[in-house]
Amino acid sequence: MPAAPPATLDQAFREARTRNGWSPQAVSEALLREVYDLAKWGPTSANASPARFVFVTSDAAKQRLAPFLSAGNKVKTMAAPVCCIVGYDVAFAEHLPRLFPHDQTAKTWFAHPQVAETTAFRNGTLQGAYLIIAARLLGLDCGPMSGFDNAGVDQEFFAGTSVKSNFLVNIGYGTDENLFARSPRLDFEEACQIL
């Protein structure tokens, strides 16, 4: 497979920024579906696909989310066209007979609750990252964040389910409002080893 062109690398990583300001331009349901349909192809353990995404777009849904946001995240989240609640389903293994069809014993691998929780959280987090990259590649900006009451969001949006919230991602068309200067990253020698 050939390397992606530099412009694509810039769009996904080098020039992409975490946005705090948002244009009022709406994000269509069709585009959100396209983002998911691209992100879903990212790899997960045993194709577990535990992430669950709630795209909060309506004013009514945003009002349900607002009480659980930290003060620093509330204004920008209310202004964003979309706030995606990235969750993970600890009962993901129920889908493995369909998602991992070449080994019908796969469901049993995650029978222990702690194994299921760890696997769901790890792979759901990966899928949240895939969602960010997919959104950027499809021309959207993102503002991922913590800074919210997980328990409150779980009660409001996931009550009666096996899904738990992980993090939030504001999605839309970003502006330079409240855009921080680009922060440094660790150099290869600081973060990596080749053994």
Runs of H (alpha helix) within the chain: 6-9, 29-39, 59-65, 71-79, 96-99, 113-137, 150-158, 188-191
- Helix and strand tally (H, E) in the chain? 8, 6
For 51, which DSSP code? Answer: E
Taken as a whole, the chain contains a residue count of 195
CA separation, residue 58 to residues 37, 70, 74, 82 (Å): 22, 20, 15, 8
pLDDT at 4: 97
The two structure tokens encoding residue 5: 């062109």
> How much is the pTM?
0.96
Query: Which residues have C-beta within 8 Å of that of residue 54, sequence separation ≥ 6?
Result: 84, 85, 87, 157
Instruction: Quote the crossing angle between the two packed helices 29-39 and 113-137, to the nearest 10°.
Output: 120
Residue 31 falls inside a structural domain: yes
Residue 120 belongs to domain with CATH number:
3.40.109.10
Residue 98 falls inside a structural domain: yes
The two structure tokens encoding residue 20: 């705090």
Residue 150 falls inside a structural domain: yes
pLDDT at 21: 95
Residue 95 falls inside a structural domain: yes
Residue 55 falls inside a structural domain: yes
Residue 5 falls inside a structural domain: no
Residue 191 falls inside a structural domain: no
Alpha-carbon gap, residue 81 to 78, rounded angstroms? 8
Residue 83 falls inside a structural domain: yes
Parent domain of 102: 27-174
Predicted confidence (pLDDT) per residue in 4-37, tens digit: 999 999 999 999 999 999 999 999 999 999 999 9
Overall number of domains in the chain:
1
Predicted confidence (pLDDT) per residue in 30-89, tens digit: 999 999 999 999 999 999 999 999 999 999 999 999 999 999 999 999 999 999 999 999
